[in-house]
Amino acid sequence: MKSDAGYRVPKIQIRDLRKAFGAKQVLDGIDLEIATGESLVIIGGSGTGKSVLIKNIIGLIAPDSGSIMIDGTETTTMRHAERDRIMHKFGMLFQGGALFDSLPVWENVAFGLIQVQRLARPRAREQAIEILAQVGLPPEVADLSPSELSGGMQKRVSLARSIATQPEIMFFDEPTTGLDPIMGSVIDDLIVKSVRELGATALSITHDMASARRIADRVAMIHGGKIIWSGKVDEIDRSGNAHVEQFINGLAEGPIKMQVKG
Amino acid sequence: MPFFAPIGRSTIAFFTIIGRVALFTLYSVSHCVRPPFFPRQIGRQMLEIGFYSLPVVGLTAIFTGMVLALQSFTGFSRFSAESAIPNIVVVSITRELGPVLAGLMVAGRVSAAIAAEIGTMRVTEQIDALTTLSTNPYKYLIAPRLIAGLFMLPLLVLVADIIGVLGGFVVSVFTLGFNPTTYLKNTWDFMQVMDVVSGLVKAAVFGFLLTLMGCYHGYNSRGGAQGVGQATTNAVVSASILIFLSNYIVTTLFFTQ
Ligand SMILES: Nc1ncnc2c1ncn2[C@@H]1O[C@H](COP(=O)(O)OP(=O)(O)O)[C@@H](O)[C@H]1O
Ligand SMILES: [Mg+2]
């Protein structure tokens, strides 16, 4: 994918992306590039449109305007068959886990293997148990229902499901929210390890700065529907941006005013 | 004209909903007939909708048949027309009461369950998760339920017909003193193929509509537990009304020349 002058086509390239729900302009001109193999973390307050941004990239929500290119291919104008092909590149860990509660744990993990890669069920089950082991879960959980698991275990199963089909691009939506700090750190390590093993490009969302520092190569901050700052993870403490400083230090006073009404 | 504005608004809202449901139906049906199919899901739904509805449908049918025999006896004995009871029972059950009552009972059970399940999947992002796993939710969630409803309701109604007639038979023989052989012979002689067939056609229509309403309201539910509750109520109410409406339409098609 190398063109002249050594310029590499970004894995994901977003230009002037806009999305409103009713009168509420959630995304107001997002510009963002993610290089192949890079791990980008997006930080920002609750309700600033981080999940909406990811859902636009995956194609779960259609943007009002703007461009999203995956491997140099425009996806916003894609039709069904093409979109299906692009979808195979994605793996997503949803904010709430989104495990299928009508299926046992192993079938959750093996879902993509059975439905997309057409693996026979016994073979898919074996593979699911291997993947569960990678995220530190014993074979005994394979036949449990997701509702029988603790929050941390559910997150792990979700992670296992999203890496099972070995996607090129991984999305993690608040992977550590609602977990205790130790479990949060375990999940972060698993994410870093899985992404590295797959050689995947990763886009994560968090408002947990400790977590952001662990998984990010680069950090971008979203505010007011725009990316207001982005830089290397070790530059974040000297960003020189008042919004970023307020956010990473968790200060009540600053340019970001908490909207009580959404 | 401030007086007419609300009327206009609600008329537009009404037709918007009709349009949405129609589009949803077309889209769903188009996924029912195009591969890939999910036989495992279809089997599961057939079990859920058909097999597990047997007790409630069976109980409804037996008591309806019993009451029917009792009521017609007290009515018709005044004209010494008791011999019409087998006829009345079999015609009422096969034409109307079997399909409509089974349809309503299954609507209460199945439409609600479907709306709650799909609605929960919607608000917990499980439907989005399906899509990211390259699985079309219309094919995986909705088509199997519609197909199961379409095929299982006629089977349920066939069972309801038999049990309903049996209920009438039991009351007639054991309480009203009918001769069992004569009763059965009369039932058999009076039974029209067209009555049974029309009832089964109704059942298929009801099965499709009640699963469709469960899917539609569940799929479009928004806003957490409250939204799912609302979807469940709307599913049962709209399914019941559609059953009565379509019952009239199918009856007109079959029985008026
Ligand atoms: N499907 C939707 N319909 C209407 N509004 C939505 C929808 N999804 C998200 N929103 C709104 O968009 C805003 C951003 O949501 P979200 O991206 O989930 O925030 P967060 O940054 O916390 O992930 C919120 O105000 C939310 O209410
Ligand atoms: Mg979010």
CATH number of the domain enclosing A54: 3.40.50.300
Shared domain for A42 and A147, answered yes or no, is no
Helix axis angle for B180-190 and B143-174, nearest 10°, is 140
Do B173 and B85 contact (CB within 8 A), yes or no? no
Percent of chain B past pLDDT 90, that is, above it, reads 86
Residue A129: which domain range?
98-166
Q: Tell the residue nearest (CA) to atom 6 of ligand 1.
A: A21
Shared domain for A35 and A151, answered yes or no, is no
Count of domains forming chain A: 2
Tokens, residue A70? 């995956």
Look up the ipTM and state it.
0.91
Q: How far apart are CA A217 and CA A42, in angstroms?
A: 11
* A191-242 pLDDT, tens digit each: 999 899 989 999 999 988 999 999 999 999 999 999 999 999 999 998 889 9
Does residue A103 lie within any of the structural domains? Answer: yes
Distances (CA, A) of B186 to A81, A106, B94: 60, 58, 15
Q: Kindly indicate the confidence band of residue B78, based on its pLDDT and cuts at 50, 70 and 90.
A: confident
Nearest to A90 among B132, B135, B140 (CB): B132
Q: How far apart are CA B97 and CA A101, in angstroms?
A: 37
Please count the residues of chain A.
Answer: 262
Does residue A215 lie within any of the structural domains? Answer: yes
Contact B134 A116 (CB under 8 A): yes
3 state DSSP class of A148: helix
Contact B134 A115 (CB under 8 A): yes
Shared domain for A138 and A195, answered yes or no, is no
Q: How far apart are CA A135 and CA A125, in angstroms?
A: 16
User: DSSP letter string over B170-205?
Assistant: HHHHHTS---HHHHHHHHHHH--HHHHHHHHHHHHH
In the DSSP assignment, the letter for residue A203 is: E
* B8-23 pLDDT, tens digit each: 888 998 899 999 999 9
Contact A92 B129 (CB under 8 A): yes
Contact B132 A102 (CB under 8 A): no
Shared domain for A20 and A79, answered yes or no, is yes
Q: Look at residue B38 and tell me whether its pLDDT is greater than 80.
A: yes
Shared domain for A69 and A40, answered yes or no, is yes
| Contacts with A112 from chain B: Cβ below 8 Å | 133-134
| Contacts with B135 from chain A: Cβ below 8 Å | 111, 115-116
| Contacts with B225 from chain A: Cβ below 8 Å | none
Percent of chain A past pLDDT 70, that is, above it, reads 95
Shared domain for A82 and A180, answered yes or no, is yes
pLDDT reported for residue A261 = 52
Q: Which of A51, A92, A258 to mutate to test the pocket of ligand 1 (most atoms within 8 A of CB)?
A: A51
Does residue A2 lie within any of the structural domains? Answer: no
Tokens, residue A1? 């994918």
Q: How far apart are CA B27 and CA A239, in angstroms?
A: 50
Count of Cβ atoms closer than 10 Å to residue A102 Cβ = 15
